[in-house]
A and B are shown apart, each in its own frame.
Chain A
Amino acid sequence: MVNIETNIQNTKYRPEDIQGNIVRGYNFKYVRHLILEVSDVKAARRFLAASVSDDSGDVPSITRETSWKKKPESCFNIGFTYEGLKALGLSRKQLASFPKEFVEGMTKRALKIGDFGESAPETWPAPFDQPDRVHIVASVHAKNIKSIDGIQDIVARSFNVIGVRDGRALDKGKIVFGYVDGISQPKLKHVHDPSEDKDDQPINPLGVVLLGYPTRLEGVLFSLPQPEKELGFNGTFNAFRVLSQNAAEFETYLTEAAEDLLKHKDIDHLLPAKEVKLFGKGHTRKSAIREIVAAQMLGRWRNGVPYETSPDTPNPDPEVSLTNFNYGYKSRCPVGAHMRRANPRGGPIVQHVANRTRRIVRRGMVYGPDFDPSKPDNEERGLLGNFIGANLGAQFEAIMYDWLNLGLQHPDITGSNDPILGANSRETSWFDLTLKNGGKIRLRGFPRFITSRGGAYTFLPSIRAVKYLSDLSG
Chain B
Amino acid sequence: MSKTEGWFARYVDTLQSRGWFKFVSKYIVVPYWIWRAPKPKLPGGPRVSPQPSDNIQRMMNLIMPLKDPSPIGRATAVSVVAQNVDEIFAGLDNVGTVHFARFLLLDDKLCMISAYDGDFSNYIRDFIVTVGSVFDEIMTQIDGGDDLIPTEHNVEKFIEWVHEHDLFQAPDYPTHMFALQDEAIGREPNKPPHMIQSLPRDLILQLHANPNISLGGGYRSYPGFTAAQVRDKFGVGW
A-B complex is real: yes
Considering only CB atoms, which chain B residue lies closest to A219 in the complex? B152
Interface pair A99/B156, CB less than 8 Å apart: yes
Interface flag for B137 (CB, 8 Å): no
A220 and B238 contact, Cβ closer than 8 Å, known pairs A351-B96, A408-B117, A414-B228: no
Interface flag for A92 (CB, 8 Å): no
Interface pair A393/B156, CB less than 8 Å apart: yes
Minimum C-beta distance from B13 to chain A (A) = 44
Interface pair B48/A112, CB less than 8 Å apart: yes
Minimum C-beta distance from B230 to chain A (A) = 9
Binds B, one of A13-21, A271-279, A394-402, A456-464: A394-402
- Please, how many angstroms separate the alpha-carbon atoms of A357 and B154 in the complex? 18
Interface flag for B111 (CB, 8 Å): no
Minimum C-beta distance from A213 to chain B (A) = 13
Interface pair A112/B119, CB less than 8 Å apart: yes
- Please, how many angstroms separate the alpha-carbon atoms of A352 and B94 in the complex? 5
Contact with B along A349-379 (1 / 0, CB 8 A): 1111110010000000000000000000000
Interface flag for B160 (CB, 8 Å): yes
| Chain B contacts for A402, CB-based, 8 A | 118-119, 122
Minimum C-beta distance from A116 to chain B (A) = 5
Which residues, 122 to 145 on B, are CB-close (under 8 Å) to A? 122, 125-126, 128-130, 132-133
Considering only CB atoms, which chain B residue lies closest to A98 in the complex? B156
Minimum C-beta distance from A36 to chain B (A) = 26
- Please, how many angstroms separate the alpha-carbon atoms of A223 and B159 in the complex? 12
Interface flag for B216 (CB, 8 Å): no
- Please, how many angstroms separate the alpha-carbon atoms of A217 and B131 in the complex? 12
Minimum C-beta distance from B60 to chain A (A) = 16
| Chain A contacts for B130, CB-based, 8 A | 353
- Please, how many angstroms separate the alpha-carbon atoms of A391 and B119 in the complex? 15
A393 contacts which of B50, B121, B226 (Cβ < 8 Å)? B121
A415 and B122 contact, Cβ closer than 8 Å, known pairs A217-B129, A352-B94: no
From A218, A223, A353, residue with most partner B Cβ within 10 Å: A353
Interface flag for A222 (CB, 8 Å): yes
- Please, how many angstroms separate the alpha-carbon atoms of A464 and B95 in the complex? 38
Interface pair A350/B97, CB less than 8 Å apart: yes
- Please, how many angstroms separate the alpha-carbon atoms of A394 and B227 in the complex? 21
Interface pair A219/B117, CB less than 8 Å apart: no
**Interface SS of A by simple majority:** loop
A394 contacts which of B48, B125, B152, B232 (Cβ < 8 Å)? B125
Interface pair A354/B238, CB less than 8 Å apart: no
- Please, how many angstroms separate the alpha-carbon atoms of A143 and B67 in the complex? 62
- Please, how many angstroms separate the alpha-carbon atoms of A117 and B126 in the complex? 30
- Please, how many angstroms separate the alpha-carbon atoms of A397 and B126 in the complex? 14
| Chain B contacts for A393, CB-based, 8 A | 121, 125, 156, 159
B52 contacts which of A100, A223, A354, A406 (Cβ < 8 Å)? A406
Interface pair B96/A350, CB less than 8 Å apart: yes
| Chain A contacts for B128, CB-based, 8 A | 220
From A100, A401, A402, A408, residue with most partner B Cβ within 10 Å: A408
- Please, how many angstroms separate the alpha-carbon atoms of A352 and B159 in the complex? 20
Minimum C-beta distance from B227 to chain A (A) = 8
Minimum C-beta distance from A170 to chain B (A) = 32
Minimum C-beta distance from B190 to chain A (A) = 16
- Please, how many angstroms separate the alpha-carbon atoms of A305 and B94 in the complex? 33
Interface pair B129/A411, CB less than 8 Å apart: no
Contact with A along B36-73 (1 / 0, CB 8 A): 00000000000011101101100000000000000000
Interface flag for B155 (CB, 8 Å): yes
Interface flag for B224 (CB, 8 Å): yes
- Please, how many angstroms separate the alpha-carbon atoms of A408 and B57 in the complex? 12
- Please, how many angstroms separate the alpha-carbon atoms of A357 and B94 in the complex? 14
Interface pair B129/A219, CB less than 8 Å apart: yes
Minimum C-beta distance from B225 to chain A (A) = 8
From A222, A223, A414, residue with most partner B Cβ within 10 Å: A414
Interface pair A353/B122, CB less than 8 Å apart: no
| Chain B contacts for A408, CB-based, 8 A | 55, 97, 117-118, 226, 228
Interface pair B228/A350, CB less than 8 Å apart: yes
Interface flag for A176 (CB, 8 Å): no
Interface flag for A203 (CB, 8 Å): no
Interface pair A398/B122, CB less than 8 Å apart: yes
- Please, how many angstroms separate the alpha-carbon atoms of A315 and B133 in the complex? 50
Interface pair A221/B49, CB less than 8 Å apart: no
Interface flag for B201 (CB, 8 Å): no
Interface pair A411/B126, CB less than 8 Å apart: no
| Chain A contacts for B83, CB-based, 8 A | none
From A218, A349, A415, residue with most partner B Cβ within 10 Å: A415
- Please, how many angstroms separate the alpha-carbon atoms of A406 and B232 in the complex? 17
Minimum C-beta distance from A414 to chain B (A) = 5
Minimum C-beta distance from B154 to chain A (A) = 7
| Chain A contacts for B95, CB-based, 8 A | 351-353
Contact with B along A431-470 (1 / 0, CB 8 A): 0000000000000000000000000000000000000000
A352 and B156 contact, Cβ closer than 8 Å, known pairs A111-B49, A398-B122, A423-B50: no
- Please, how many angstroms separate the alpha-carbon atoms of A357 and B56 in the complex? 22
Since A393-B125, A394-B125 are in contact, a sample of 14 more A-B pairs with Cβ atoms closer than 8 Å, ordered by chain A residue number, is A112-B48, A217-B129, A217-B155, A223-B155, A349-B96, A350-B226, A351-B97, A351-B122, A352-B96, A353-B126, A353-B129, A354-B122, A411-B232, A414-B56
Name 9 interchain pairs, CB-CB below 8 A, sorted by A.
Answer: A217-B125, A223-B155, A223-B157, A350-B227, A351-B96, A352-B95, A393-B121, A398-B119, A401-B118
Chain B interface residues (CB < 8 Å from chain A): 48-50, 52-53, 55-56, 94-97, 117-119, 121-122, 125-126, 128-130, 132-133, 152-157, 159-160, 224, 226-229, 231-232, 238
Leading 4 A-B pairs by shortest Cβ distance: A350-B96, A411-B229, A411-B232, A350-B228
